[in-house]
Structure 1
Amino acid sequence: MPKQTISTLILMACLTLAYAQTDSLLSKRVPILDTARSATTLQQLANEFERIALADEGSWLAHYYTAYAYVELAYQTKGDQIDTYCDQAEIYLKNAEKLQPAHTEIYALYAYLYGARVNVNPMLRGAKMGTQSEQYINLAIKANPDNPRPYLIRGMGKYYTPKIFGGGKEKAIPFLEEALEKFSTFKPQPPYAPNWGKPLTERLLQDSRKE
Structure 2
Amino acid sequence: MKHLIIITVLFVTGILSAQSSYDKGMEKAFELWKNNQWDEAEQLFERIAAAEPEAWLPNYYVAQMNSLKSWEEKDPNTLKAQLEKAQNFLNDAMAIEKENADLLVMQAQILTNWVAFDGMTYGMKYSAKISDLYERAFDMAPENPMVVLGRAEWNMGSARYFGKDTTPFCKDIEKAIELFANFKPESSFHPNWGKQHAQTVLKSCTD
Whether TM-score is above 0.5 comes out as: yes
Q: TM-score, normalised by structure 2?
A: 0.84
Change over 3 Å in CA distance of 1:155–1:18 after alignment to 2? same
Choose from 53, 71, 74 the match for 1:75.
71
Change over 3 Å in CA distance of 1:147–1:58 after alignment to 2? same
Match of 1:50 in 2: 46
- State the shift of 1:190 in Å: 0.8
CA root-mean-square deviation: 2.7
Q: What does residue range 21-32 of structure 1 map to in structure 2 within 5 Å?
A: 21-30=21-30
Q: Is the 8 A contact 2:67 2:83 kept in 1?
A: yes
The aligned length equals 206
Q: Partner of 1:119: helix, strand, or coil?
A: helix
Higher relative contact order, structure no. (Cα contacts within 8 Å, ≥ 6 residues apart): 1
Q: Is the 8 A contact 1:22 1:52 kept in 2?
A: yes
Are residue 200 (structure 1) and residue 189 (structure 2) matched? no
Determine the C-alpha separation between the residues in 1 that align with 2:123 and 2:159.
11
- State the shift of 1:28 in Å: 3.9
Change over 3 Å in CA distance of 1:105–1:31 after alignment to 2? farther
Q: TM-score, normalised by structure 1?
A: 0.83
- State the shift of 1:7 in Å: 6.2
Determine the C-alpha separation between the residues in 2 that align with 1:43 and 1:159.
32
Residue type matched to 2:82 in 1? Answer: Y
Q: Which moved more, 1:23-32 or 1:43-52?
A: 23-32
Q: Partner of 2:182: helix, strand, or coil?
A: coil
Residue type matched to 2:73 in 1? Answer: T
- Runs of 5+ in structure 1 lacking a partner? none
Deviations 1:44-70 (Å, cap 9, x if unpaired)? Answer: 321121111112222111111121111
Q: Percent of aligned pairs with the same residue?
A: 23
